[in-house]
Structure 1
């Protein structure tokens, strides 16, 4: 960890606050619009904590299914996130972001409901689960850019932006802990199908809360040009800052390893070496518990150079994947999963806040879509290949390759722009460019 973390407000550059009262941060939730978004993320991410376990063991429980089939279903979900993400960014910067988010949540909820019913009735097939996974992935590609552009528009004081981002991550993380534990319990007791049905209703409740935002969730309707022109403008904003596209490029490799390890290779390791869903749920819950701690760190400590700190902690996310390769004892993997969770959320909050402080608001959804697309463009390939790699080279070799990919994030520390980016809103929103 670098030594330029500001211990108090007096040491923070350019008026950036650090270590302020947590009661003030929590008090931001009393603002109606922030409270609604917080609640929406809480219930939706509760279901999203259930879904990976339910889907993984639902697929693996089908007659004749193996890791390759699970990788295929996850591939089907990941492809639309890549193909339609840029379109989602354009639409989110032009239309009513709230309505777009509601539509996406309802679509995802219906897809999960049908998948759960198919598993529950014994009529599920890999083909149908792939189709529904693709629908879910499409819904996400509409939701994410709208959500990324919405949050800063709800924060009146730029000094509160990191706190709001951290609080929203807190909702995700608390829901992840509860959802992962609930997912393991549901799969172990009543099965994967009913667990996905429960997940579907959390999407619908989330959609209701977002709908209540009303006019506060509108996008850039007036004066919008063509979709192609909007894409070009978004690309120009994205490539104007090397610290943006450079970090995204590194995370494109890191996310291949992390997604393959967590989505495919990890559940297979849990089945081969331990007791399957319960142990895997425990490890995911430890990661989620770590993310809650990461939020606390992000609330209390404000780095003078936030991106430098973010890139220093990012390689920690590789540690539990390294430990899963042999594998090491469950207790050790659990501790490392916790540490990875802390690192994940410190990075996430600092990265999102840096984008929001340095990208013009009218282009933020599009830049966020380029960020997501670049970071995850290669993930579908990793998911599809990981099942084959396990069958060909074994779990240990495949998991080791995943760990090596996760460590590529450390290269970002070589970039002077990454090391130099200062906290707070850039002067003219382009001080860090070029």
Structure 2
């Protein structure tokens, strides 16, 4: 997997984005501590985070279109500059900034994140080349998992030793480092594969991306499965799991979170080696690895079992992420990568804020076992249902048997 870093320019881009993502992890912890001194800390943090999520969701599709129209390295630089502005303004405004200003800065930061994600993902795939995109997908996933562990640790340590302000400053420095690795990057120009006489607008480019995914039934099916799973399984568990394990003490919640991240990291390091004629089936079975964790929480299992099943859940979702990401990279034309990734992220994230809020409300009406049992039933149903869509089990590839049948059919028609 790490051998892909020897690909020209990719190692340089990866280094910058690795530092940037670690900075995001630092921000996640320190921004909470930064606002903690306020009397309305919960409202302030909730406003900032929800505005960030909305800004990201609102710009994902257009961010993907921009990433396919312009040089992706420059799009990432623009996104980093936008986020630098948001964090710097937050530092200047101070922890007692008005709620309205926090909402505005959250939207700014979220817009930067929404523009960044499809451009970064597409650029890594573009630089890796089609023959090494599975390794690139695994590397991207492993990097995300690793920085998700390291960033919060660094952020908490810096905040404890100095102050949260220094943590936010580190986030700004990480963006500056990212920009430095991207300036004057000689990347392939994906627009060269398109008709240069076609001056389609940004909206039309975004709609073209949606139309492309609609024609790929297997691709659309998996994306919709992700949207349903996010709404019915991931969102309620994101609320229930911290409440249940947090009620057992900080150590229990910490062990569960760390186990999930470690399981995901371990799987990311090995998933690129998986070879199967039915990678879609393997990927979906990976999602089912979340089921034991949900059942354990529903049944009030001992903490040690929840920790073990959390590691399994992290590993399974990481296997899915690597295989699914590689399939998108291999089956999507380079000039469409940004829009396809953006639509995938949008469908997964769009319902999350609403469903998490609904889960919080339902916890006041229904019992925890009822909500987790519903999630446990919804998960296998969504996984099994999508497997019946043509092309999902192979993630759009053609198996040797199908290739032989097609060859025989072609020869028969020729006769």
Normalised-by-shorter TM-score class: 0.7 to 0.9
Asked if 1 retains the 8 angstrom alpha-carbon contact of 2:283 and 2:319, the reply is: yes
2:366 is the alignment partner of 1:388: no
Distance of aligned partners of 1:357 and 1:78 in 2 relative to their CA distance in 1, 3 Å threshold: same
2:67 is aligned to 92
CA distance in 2, matches of 1:335, 1:58: 33
Deviation sequence 1:394-432 (CA, Å, 0-9, x none): 6665566565555554132233421244658999xxx9x
- The structural deviation recorded for 1:178 is 1.5
1:50 is aligned to 26
CA distance in 2, matches of 1:117, 1:404: 48
2:214 is the alignment partner of 1:239: yes
Following superposition of structure 1 onto structure 2, how do residues 214-293 of structure 1 map, counting pairs within 5 Å? 214-216=185-187, 218-220=189-191, 222-223=196-197, 224-256=199-231, 257-259=233-235, 261-262=237-238, 264-269=239-244, 271-275=246-250, 280-293=253-266
1:155 is aligned to 128
- Flag the structure with larger Rg: 2
1:361 is aligned to 334
Asked if 2 retains the 8 angstrom alpha-carbon contact of 1:183 and 1:281, the reply is: no
Unmatched runs of 5 consecutive residues or more in structure 2: 407-415
2:16 is aligned to 40
Asked if 2 retains the 8 angstrom alpha-carbon contact of 1:317 and 1:343, the reply is: yes
2:151 is the alignment partner of 1:175: no
CA distance in 2, matches of 1:186, 1:320: 32
- The structural deviation recorded for 1:234 is 1.4
Distance of aligned partners of 1:26 and 1:85 in 2 relative to their CA distance in 1, 3 Å threshold: closer
When the two chains are superposed, the root-mean-square deviation of aligned CA atoms in Å is 3.3
Asked if 2 retains the 8 angstrom alpha-carbon contact of 1:176 and 1:285, the reply is: no
- The structural deviation recorded for 1:384 is 3.5
Deviates more, 1:316-325 or 1:45-54: 316-325
Asked if 2 retains the 8 angstrom alpha-carbon contact of 1:89 and 1:368, the reply is: yes
Asked if 2 retains the 8 angstrom alpha-carbon contact of 1:311 and 1:409, the reply is: no
Unmatched runs of 5 consecutive residues or more in structure 1: 1-24
1:132 is aligned to 105
- TM-score, normalization by structure 1: 0.79
Deviation sequence 1:352-389 (CA, Å, 0-9, x none): 11112212222221122222222222112123334434
Asked if 2 retains the 8 angstrom alpha-carbon contact of 1:54 and 1:187, the reply is: yes
Deviation sequence 1:296-343 (CA, Å, 0-9, x none): 221222222222211111122354455445654443332222212211
Aligned length: 396
Distance of aligned partners of 1:204 and 1:271 in 2 relative to their CA distance in 1, 3 Å threshold: farther
